[in-house]
Structure 1
Amino acid sequence: MASSKDRQRKLARAKFDRQMARRAVRERRRRRVLAGGGIALAVLVVAVGGAWIGGAFDKDEKTSTEAVDVCLWSPLDKSTNAELKEVGTPPTKNLPETGTEIMTIATNQGDPIKASLDVASAPCAAASFSYLAGKQFFDNTDCHEILDIGAVHCGDPSGTGQGGPTYSYYDENAPAQPEPSASASTGAKAAVLYPKGTVATIGNPANSNGSQFLIFFKDYAPTTAAPKYSIVGQVTGGLDTLAKMGKIPTVADNAGDKVKPKEKITIKSLTVAADAAAAAPSASAQS
């Protein structure tokens, strides 16, 4: 489920397999009737069987507008991880797969941070953010780490790096990794995989995203293979607030890593809404 196209291909293949199985059953039934009936009956059955095989009575094809799963949410067991928070799961069908949405993060560090969520490239991540925001999941939580890769780590109510909802979902829209030692051997500058302002989901291990996310306050250009963070959006407002967060000194956390902000970074509220600017018709369209 690396992309919307992959999911669509899998769903189309599953539908095709169901149709072929039903048609095989119908064909066997038709042959039994032919073996025991007269010529007139056989001709009639052939005609009806042909219609069957041609899909005239195929219920799947008649209900081709039936909603299909856009995202799948893998359940997580709270009994094995007390840091998880039970909030149910987002819907799997009738989710947006195009356009953008606006995520607004109000913190104690200054003006709100606004980010454009790329629904087309990361529909499941966008759906999860929207669902959790509707549950006030992120409200009054702390961004518990400032990482040396130039990113603020948020979205874990427990502040331990182990928290999140009782579901996970697959990676989406992860950038291609650089070839090992490619820049070192050629002297070329490493490519920026996560530009300043990038919003990306983070899960450990891979394909286990939940609620945790990174906001990069500077460009990140790894020279070696790096964790694949799925890009879900880009900051469009509040870059000064983000820069201020990146300058906060860090101290050792409980594990001894110097990543804990010396000054609290608290998310007062996080909301997701439709992108009004993107939805509004252009001036030329109105004229």
Structure 2
Amino acid sequence: MAPSKDRQRRLARAKFDRQMARRAVRERKRRRVLAGAGTALAVVLVAVGGAWIGGAFDSKENTAAEAPDICLWSPRDVSGNTALKDVGTPPTKDLPQTGTETMTIDTNQGAAITATLDVTSAPCGAANFSYLAGKKFFDGTDCHEILDIGAVHCGDPSGTGQGGPAYSYYDENLPVQPEPAPSPSAAAKPAVLYPTGTVATVGSPAGSNGSQFLIFFKDYAPTTDPVYSIVGQVTGGQDTLAKIGKIPTVTDGAGEKVKPKEKITIKSLTVAADTAAAAPTASAQS
């Protein structure tokens, strides 16, 4: 019996060894498969990571280049100047940069004054007028000064010279003084940089524009560097402008003889895009 039992134990042992060997083979295969899968996954992750860093999964909005700012509007401290009115700010992007717009000023002095705004040369000035007109900022305000340089001063609801919106913007389209004469014998009169009908912005302080503007009713030839940015030119209502220029002035609260003896009230001021304009006006986007 012993030999038979020994034989059975040997057969059982051999069977067990074969089972262990097959199990080991299967385990090695499984490990190779997992290793290969891990390597493939690592490669995929590296590729995906590179694509992500490169922006392959960004949305169309993110891949498109962001529109640049065309105009910048600097905030003013409303608490420090009660003459300022907070009406928000115009948009900074997607503003017209070419062509013209038509500004119509209806006053109590006669036929409406119309002016062409030069969007190409003064895109921010035009956008500012358009935006404020859309807010009815100028409606019911008085032109509070007639200046000895031959211009009527408008656009300040407070009538103090310190009023305007709660933002400002930089100068643009300043005229340039011509080169001086080569010799004293060839000296000439100062050049007219603001011809009759010019619409220009007034900064308070200079270089910090808001809502205030001048309309020149006679030619102006400054003897110093010009400080008024040109934004447009009167094209209609010249008789009304000439009438305004003849209104006598009296002394204002500061002792200057610039206050019109009779009121010059802007009943409404509107800005409309000319038919050739390809982009909407700022007031339409407000």
The interval holding the TM-score normalised by the smaller chain is: 0.7 to 0.9
What per-residue deviation string (whole Å, max 9, x for no partner) do you get for residues 15-37 of structure 1?
xxxxxxxxxxxxxxxxxxxxxxx
Tell me which residue corresponds to 2:136.
Answer: 136
1: CA distance between counterparts of 2:106 and 2:124? 23
Identical residues among aligned pairs (%): 77
2: CA distance between counterparts of 1:143 and 1:186? 40
Residue pair 2:175, 2:226 contacting (<8 A) in 1 also: no
The amino acid of 2:271's aligned partner reads: V
Alignment of 1:120-159 (within 5 A): 120-159=120-159
Closer, same or farther: CA 181–152 of 1 in aligned 2, 3 Å: farther
Give the secondary structure class of the aligned counterpart of 2:102. Answer: strand
Runs of at least 5 residues in structure 2 that lack an aligned partner in the other structure: 1-41, 279-286
2: CA distance between counterparts of 1:155 and 1:120? 22
Is 1:164 the counterpart of 2:158? The answer is no
1: CA distance between counterparts of 2:229 and 2:120? 13
- Larger Rg belongs to: 2
Closer, same or farther: CA 56–85 of 1 in aligned 2, 3 Å: closer
Alignment of 1:79-118 (within 5 A): 79-118=79-118
Closer, same or farther: CA 58–233 of 1 in aligned 2, 3 Å: farther
Residue pair 2:207, 2:227 contacting (<8 A) in 1 also: no
What per-residue deviation string (whole Å, max 9, x for no partner) do you get for residues 61-120 of structure 1?
9413x3221111000011111100111111111111111100000000000000000111
Tell me which residue corresponds to 1:234.
Answer: 233
Residue pair 2:200, 2:232 contacting (<8 A) in 1 also: yes
**CA deviation after TM superposition for structure 1 residue 230, in Å:** 0.5
What per-residue deviation string (whole Å, max 9, x for no partner) do you get for residues 249-270 of structure 1?
0111111111110011000000
Tell me which residue corresponds to 2:224.
Answer: 225
Tell me which residue corresponds to 1:70.
Answer: 70
The amino acid of 1:244's aligned partner reads: K
Give the secondary structure class of the aligned counterpart of 2:152. Answer: strand
Alignment of 1:236-255 (within 5 A): 236-255=235-254
Is 1:261 the counterpart of 2:286? The answer is no
2: CA distance between counterparts of 1:114 and 1:184? 42
1: CA distance between counterparts of 2:206 and 2:178? 17
Closer, same or farther: CA 180–265 of 1 in aligned 2, 3 Å: farther
Closer, same or farther: CA 236–185 of 1 in aligned 2, 3 Å: same
The amino acid of 1:221's aligned partner reads: A
1: CA distance between counterparts of 2:183 and 2:232? 27
The amino acid of 1:162's aligned partner reads: Q
TM-score by length of 2: 0.74
1: CA distance between counterparts of 2:184 and 2:257? 28
TM-score by length of 1: 0.73
What per-residue deviation string (whole Å, max 9, x for no partner) do you get for residues 131-155 of structure 1?
1001110000000001111100000
